[in-house]
Amino acid sequence: MEEVIKKAAKIRLLICDVDGVLTDGSLFFGDDGQEYKAFNSRDGHGMKMLQEAGVDIAIITGRTSNVVSLRMKNLGIKHLYQGQHDKRLAFNELLKEFKLSAEEVAYMGDDVVDLPVMTKVGLAITVADGHELVQQHSHWCTQNKGGKGAAREVCELLMKAQNKYEEMMQTYFD
């Protein structure tokens, strides 16, 4: 865990996948073709706090969905890449835009499509129910499953590693 904390202290950008990470991976479709997803409100609040603590967040997902756009707008996440079959393209674009090295980036994924980016970042994270191969190539695995508090765990890990957690929590006691 000490090595994970060292890596987490360097992170300036957290990149998350959506399905299986910010949701439980279930896809719901109405008769009209409308797609529905369930997001965890505590995950969302953790993401807002992490941004306030100075760590940017970006989303790279293989699917394209209006509900994801709406949720990310609600969370103040401006860097959203949908329909990314090769997530490395968006990853490289983010490195350039933020002027970061890969070591300063954490990636949170759950399935093998995330591995091309996960194997390049400073801190690779998966969820408790992530694919076996993804767990093998991750630096850290959350205790919670995707869509069930895993993103909040990661946000708090990063804040703690960067000595921002207490400061962020203190705002709720003033």
Q: What percent of the chain has pLDDT over 70?
A: 99
Residues contacting residue 41 through CB under 8 Å, at least 6 positions apart: none
Whole-angstrom Cα distance, residue 78 to residue 75?
Answer: 9
Mean pLDDT over the full length of the chain: 96
Q: Which CATH number fits domain 2-168: 3.40.50.1000, 3.10.180.10, 3.20.20.140, 3.30.300.210?
A: 3.40.50.1000
What are the structure tokens assigned to 153, written together? 């765990």
At 40, is the pLDDT very low, low, confident or very high (cuts 50, 70, 90)?
Answer: very high
Domain range summary for the chain, segments of one domain joined by +: 2-168
Query: What percent of the chain has a predicted confidence (pLDDT) above 90?
Result: 90
Q: Of 14, 16, 62, nearest to 39 (Cα)?
A: 16
Helix (H) or strand (E) holding 15: strand 13-16
- Residues 52, 137: Cα–Cα separation, whole Å: 29
Residue reference for tokens 């954490």: 106
Q: What pLDDT digit, counting tens, does each position of 47-65 carry?
A: 999 999 999 999 999 999 9
Sheet (strand 56-60) strand order = 79-81, 56-60, 13-16, 105-109, 123-126, 140-141
pTM value? 0.95
Cα separation, 61 vs 47, in Å, equals 17
Q: What is the pLDDT of residues 70-92, one digit of tens each?
A: 999 999 999 999 999 999 999 99
- Per-residue pLDDT tens over the stretch 114-164: 999 999 999 999 999 999 999 999 999 999 999 999 999 999 999 999 999
Q: Is 62 exposed, middle or buried (0-12, 13-18, 19+ CB in 10 A)?
A: middle
Question: Across-strand partners of 79?
Answer: 58
User: What is the tally of helices (H) and strands (E) in the chain?
Assistant: 8, 8
Q: Using CB atoms within 10 Å of the CB of residue 55, give its burial: 0 to 12 exposed, 13 to 18 middle, 19+ buried.
A: buried
